[in-house]
Amino acid sequence: MPEPGRSGAAGAGQGAGGGFGSGTAWHGAGERPRCPVLVVRTLDPSLAPLLPALAALVAETGSVLSHLAVLAREYDVPTAVGVPDAVERFPEGTRMSVDGGTGAVDEIRVTALAEATERVTEGAGGSVRTDSAGGGASMDAPAGPRDGDGPLPPGCPDYREGMAS
């Protein structure tokens, strides 16, 4: 039987809160993608200023009581800790989803991503614009802790709808 707060999936981490988030893997250096999921080896408090604009946070080490995990919960950033080999499993640019309740971290199929992106409309807390082809969207980054209307930054699509079981 899985431990409370853990997913039954192999390679899953421990959920540290924040709900569900999805976006593009980013390791914290270089250009930040739209809807970044920060994937790191350790939870370092120096990463705190990045939290407001993250779609999710994944760490190979750390606990739900780590300083950064506590701050991530304050910002409603979905967080999974103790995810084995996360940096290698999710290289920068990987489309992924994070369930902060169960600790499940999954790569998203590109076909599901394309279908979900087409459904992007106006998001809560910021304006979202799609181009005439229905593809790219831009967003206004949140200024502080989110209002509980959903853990995704404005403009980040919820890919769960496009995923087949």
Domain ranges of the chain: 14-108
Q: What is the pLDDT of residues 29-87, one digit of tens each?
A: 999 999 999 999 999 999 999 999 999 999 999 999 999 999 999 999 999 999 999 99
How large a percentage of the chain has pLDDT more than 90?
57
What is the per-residue pLDDT for 164?
A: 43
- What is the CATH code for 14-108? 3.50.30.10
What is the per-residue pLDDT for 152?
A: 54
Give the predicted TM-score (pTM) of the model: 0.67
Mean pLDDT, residues 127-152 taken together: 40
What is the torsional sign of CA 68, 145, 27, 64?
Answer: positive
The average confidence (pLDDT) of the chain is: 75
What is the per-residue pLDDT for 147?
A: 41
Task: Check residues 61 and 157 and name the one with the higher pLDDT.
Answer: 61
What is the per-residue pLDDT for 132?
A: 35
Q: What is the pLDDT of residues 5-36, one digit of tens each?
A: 444 455 689 999 989 999 999 999 999 999 99
Sheet holding 95-99, edge to edge: 14-15, 79-81, 56-59, 36-40, 20-26, 95-99, 105-107
